[in-house]
Structure 1
Amino acid sequence: MPFDLPIRKIIHVDMDAFYASVEQMDNPLLKGKPVAVGGGGKRGVVSAASYEARKFGVKSAMAGNLASKLCPELIFVRPNFERYSEISKQIRSIFFDYTDLVEPLSLDEAYLDVTENKNGNPSASLIAKEIRTRILNEVGLTASAGISINKFIAKIASDYNKPNGQKTVNPEEVLEFLEQLDIRKFYGVGKVTAEKMYQKGIFTGLDLKQKSIDYLDANFGKSGRYYYHIVRGIHTSEVKPDRTRKSLAAERTFSENLSSEVFMLEKLEHIAEEVSRRLNKSKVAGKTVTLKIKYSDFTLHTRSKTLKFFISDKSVIFETAKDLLYQEKLNNSVRLLGISLSNLNTEKKEKPKEKKSVSVQLEFKF
């Protein structure tokens, strides 16, 4: 590995089937049974699935009627995000007992930088194990963890021994670990990109590593340089505890497809009201309004408008979204509408930080 790379002790903690596990914990009758958080029927969508349901092929973002066909015994439960947020806060409070460098990615996962930690424990692996044990004993849920020299490898590792397990990739193991990895396991390589790589004979990290940076740039655009570096274990992004919200949104899927803008206005007004409520609750405002339209054939279109001032008022959000709706004719009947506000007043320009580097020749116990 390059000698000027920063070497850190990073833990990625990922809760196991979080939403479904919370529902099973709160309702003992659901324990051991296939559970899907979300809606059943032809219009419903699965938000999360328990491991019992996953055995049948049920997974998040799957249509509810398809999930029911795959698993006839599937139990659908309405999501309770207030409860999930409450549990998430309990889990994060455990993280902060070890380090202040905690970067939440969502309610159910976070990065922790424990290079220097509050307990003075030199072993990131032991810290991860202790955190997972505390989450189980104090919250009642299982978590998995990945431990390595940077965020990219730690995230891949956390999925390695799921559920209720952990994987450590030591500095001297990084290159071999990445070379043997299926390209689909690389964080940042989606389904479409993986298929494209397969077509070009790239099946593992080793195959990817053999491609030049010029080849990757030519075939994968601006992502090519990213792939070139990550397969060599190069990922310098730091754990950022002060991640600011980039946008705030709300959306609705309709029980019946809507075919006229006139019929959509009432729905759009309710969505604008929800967005406004969330903005005011978070005490933020934004300048860019984006209207999301998903048609009955599942194609997705977005239309945006940036205002000269920050807004959070329902009426302004609604009127702006209304203008966007009438901006172009609809291509088809509509199954979903959404409104998001971005360019928020929470965004700050970060000052460049002086990068620190540590030689890999130093003793570094994981």
Structure 2
Amino acid sequence: MDDRNMESSSSILPDESNDHSKSIIHIDVDCFYAQVEMVRKPELQSLPLGIQQKNIVVTSNYEARKYGIRKCMLVTDALKVCPNLKLVNGEDLHDYRAASNKIFTVLQSWKCPVEKLGMDENFIDVTNLVQEKLKTVNITAITVSGNVFSEPTLECICGCHARLKIASQIASEMRNKIYDELGYTTCAGIAHNKLLAKLICPFKKPNDQTTIFPEHGASFMSTLQNVRSIPSIGSKTMETLVTHKIITVSDLQMVPLEILKKHFSGDMAVRLKNLSIGVDNTPVKQTGRPQSIGLEDSFKTVSVKSEVEEKFSALLQRLLILVREDGRIPVSLRVTLRKKDVKRLSSHRESRQCQVSASIFTINNGTLTVTDAGQQKLMSIIMRLFNKLINLSKPFHLTLVGLAFTKFQERMTGRGSIVNYLMNDISVQSVLNIQNDCDTSASSMDYSAVSPSSSTTTDLSDAEVEPSPKKPKKVTWIAKRRCLSKEEVASPSKLKVGELRLNSRELEKVSELRLSSRDRSLTPRASPAKDNLSDTSDTMKDIAEGGNCDNCPSYVDKEVFNALPDEMQQELKAMWKNPSSSEMVPRSSPRTMNKGKPNSILKYFVPHK
């Protein structure tokens, strides 16, 4: 492309297009699935290896590629060109996910933002790390590690050449550490933005890296033969461009902005122009825990309910392994089906989801587990959602089933966790207005059982929250606050819970006892419909009736004490029996009650000032 056309393209770019301040590394694992299998079984390394899913070879090692094995090749065709091809079933992605997470953990050791792109690719923003290294190195002595797309002729006034050279050395360190610790070879791209770093990464595959400097971005992009090669351009955008004879990236560079604005919005037209010459200002976003964990199984067709149930059962077993490794407690389940329309010879997806009780999942020795009864309950929920999606009175044909947990709650563990005291026996929806009447200030604490994390739904239909057919009664127990004078505060155990909303069938029995108490009032409250979404009636533990409070101090309401979980009762009894062994609250000031023992239950029931 001549200078005149380049000037025309550059003139439409925003001011920030000349920002070279970032240093971005893109790391891609060579033939990822195949490498995972070769690391697990070293005897496969010298053999032509293909990873099979259904009747497709999804990827292969470089030895197999010498014979002409390509991605997504039919198994029958692959065996024709390479009869000695060794095939490994790769439908279970567990080992691949585990390997991906290990690589991600290694990259995080550099304390830089790391963004995962699929299982085998990662972006790393090493800008700050490069700035620190610049303070301790001789700029004139810095050299590029690996390959360079094109050697620079003039030094950029912003100093980006030196920064990218240091980034290339960091990329080499990362790749070496991944190989030394995990055994995987990788390739890397180093640039001042994500677009160029990703596209230059496979320039010298496998097991190598390439650096590209900002002034060569446009010339490199012009070598791409299809606009679809640009990651941000999807199939529909490509179709529109091809319709107007814009096929290569060079074509996109040459087309006037005004022409693009006739077919795209103004912002989209400018973005397409920017991408065509290698300008991309999207940041590297630190990858957190996934918003959903799901699995799918595709097949030619299934038309019998029992077969669908078998496939869901197999998916659930694999999904529970992933949830156990994640550690969070699922509270929402989504079922996805892909239906085949025989008349239209097409297929479409539909999904339904509903909340599930967190009590189905338990933690034993720090590991999330589900009992056989819990798995049966999950299967009944899955099949109920299936029945809502399929009219069993009519023939159906499915080509895919999927399961996903889409919302999670973080269960805090350890001695200092309120969960230890409340989650074992009762489900606490909220704890509100906890205060001591001796202090005029008020405080409140909200405890939400379900975290408000959002879930991403790729299905065409809207996700639906399914109400539970069983709607357990909920009783609100409101304990009147007992006024304590400063002289009476002999023990923090005098503090009362201001309000507990307990979700259990047994609370009806407890409420009868509360009505006979002189110091307590019971207030029934109608539960909103939205509170009854989850099936909890069969999963709550029973609250023990009665109890022994013969040794309780005189100021303690025995009926209230007996309604508390066993863990609370034991701790309070121990405090009353041996006051000197616990950290007592000083009598001088109610404000000092906040300074209780760090792992004591008291800190959850004392207002924070």
Q: TM-score, normalised by structure 2?
A: 0.49
Match of 1:51 among 50, 58, 62: 62
Distance 1:316 1:110, change over 3 A: same
**Deviation of 1:303 (Å):** 0.4
Query: Is the Cα–Cα contact under 8 Å of residues 407 and 454 in structure 2 kept in the other structure?
Result: no
Aligned to 2:352: 305
Shift of 1:17: 0.4
Structure 2: distance between partners of 1:264 and 1:294: 12
1: CA distance between counterparts of 2:58 and 2:75?
10
Alignment of 1:224-239 (within 5 A): 226-239=271-284
Alpha carbons 1:321, 1:339 under 8 Å: kept: no
**Residue 22 and residue 262 in structure 1: after superposition, are their counterparts in 2 closer, same or farther (change >3 A)?**
closer
- Pick from 229, 234, 237: which aligns with 1:185? 229
Q: Distance in 2 between matches of 1:162 and 1:329?
A: 53
Distance 1:268 1:83 in 2: 21
Amino acid at match of 2:133: G
* Pairs within 5 Å for 1:168-207: 168-183=211-226, 184-189=228-233, 194=238, 197-207=241-251
Question: CA 1:141–1:244 in 2, change beyond 3 Å: closer, same or farther?
Answer: closer
Give the residue type in structure 2 aligned to 1:72: P
SS of the residue corresponding to residue 147 of structure 1 reads: strand
- Gap regions ≥5 residues in structure 2: 1-12, 135-162, 361-377, 409-450, 456-609
One-letter identity of the residue aligned with 1:347: S
1:33-91 Cα deviation digits (max 9, x unpaired): 2211224xxx4333431122234453444443343334322211133745444544443
After superposition, the Cα gap between the structure-2 partners of 1:44 and 1:30, relative to the gap in structure 1 and judged at 3 Å, is same
- Equivalence for 1:352: none
User: Which of 120, 128, 133 in structure 2 is aligned with 1:120?
Assistant: 133
Alignment-derived partner of residue 49 in structure 2: 35
Residue deviations 1:166-207 (CA, integer Å, cap 9, x gap): 221212222222233222422234567656644532233221
Identity across aligned pairs (percent)? 27
Secondary structure of the 1:73 match is coil
Q: Tell me the residue number matched to 2:453.
A: 347
2:335–2:382 contact (8 Å) kept in structure 1: no
- Counterpart contact for 1:146–1:156, Cα < 8 Å: yes
Number of the residue aligned with 2:304: 260
Q: 3-state SS of the aligned residue for 1:291? A: strand
**Of 298, 308, 316, which residue of structure 1 is paired with 2:381?**
316
Which of residues 275, 278, 290 in structure 1 aligns to 2:322? 278
Task: Give the whole-Å Cα distance in 2 for the aligned partners of 1:27 and 1:55.
Answer: 21
Aligned residue in 2 for 1:357: none
Distance 1:12 1:75, change over 3 A: same
Between 1:243-252 and 1:151-160, the stretch displaced more is: 243-252
What do residues 252-275 of structure 1 show as CA deviations (whole Å, max 9, x unaligned)?
345x74233454233234334544
Q: Is the 8 A contact 1:216 1:224 kept in 2?
A: yes
Paired with 1:48 and 1:8, the residues of 2 have a C-alpha distance of: 33
1:336 aligns with 2:390: no
Matched, 1:105 2:117: yes
- CA deviation map 1:256-298 (0-9, x unaligned): 7423345423323433454455345431536572413265999
- For 1:197 and 1:214, the matched residues in 2 are separated by 14
Unaligned runs of 5+ in 1: 350-366
CA positional deviation for 1:20: 0.6
Work out which of the two has the higher radius of gyration on C-alpha atoms and give 1 or 2: 2
Task: Name the structure, 1 or 2, with higher relative contact order (CA <8 Å, separation 6+).
Answer: 1
**How many angstroms does 1:302 deviate by?**
0.9
CA contact (8 A) 1:8 1:150 kept: yes
- Among 19, 25, 32, the residue aligned to 2:39: 25
Give distance in 1, aligned partners of 2:318 and 2:292: 14
Q: Is 1:208 the counterpart of 2:221 in the alignment?
A: no
Give the direction of change, closer, same or farther, for the CA distance of 1:127–1:209 in structure 2 (3 Å limit).
same
For residue 73 of structure 1, what is the aligned residue in structure 2? 84
Over the aligned positions, Cα root-mean-square deviation in angstroms equals 3.6
> Which residue of the partner structure matches residue 469 of structure 2?
none
What secondary structure does 2:129 align onto? coil
Q: How far did residue 115 of structure 1 move? A: 0.6
The structural deviation recorded for 1:9 is 0.5
> Residue deviations 1:91-121, cap 9 Å, x none?
3344234333111223322110011118726
Separation in structure 2 between the aligned mates of residue 86 and residue 279 of structure 1, nearest angstrom: 13
1:8 matched residue in structure 2: 22
1:355 corresponds to which residue?
Answer: none
Aligned 8 A contact 1:291 1:325 in 2: no
Paired residue type of 2:315 = I
Contact 1:261 1:326 in 2 (8 A): no
- Partner of 2:387: helix, strand, or coil? helix
How far, CA to CA, are the matches of 2:323 and 2:259 in structure 1? 44
- Following TM superposition, by how much is the alpha carbon of 1:321 offset from its aligned partner in structure 2, in angstroms? 3.3
Which segment is superposed worse, 261-270 or 287-296?
Answer: 287-296
Rounded Cα–Cα distance in structure 1 between residues aligned with 2:322 and 2:348 = 23
Amino acid at match of 1:76: L
Please tell me the residue identity of whatever aligns with 1:146.
G
Paired with 2:257 and 2:220, the residues of 1 have a C-alpha distance of 21
Q: Could you tell me whether the CA contact under 8 Å between 1:294 and 1:337 is conserved in 2?
A: no
Change beyond 3 A, Cα 1:32–1:217: farther
Alignment-derived partner of residue 358 in structure 1: none
Partners of 2:38 and 2:221 lie apart in 1 by 35
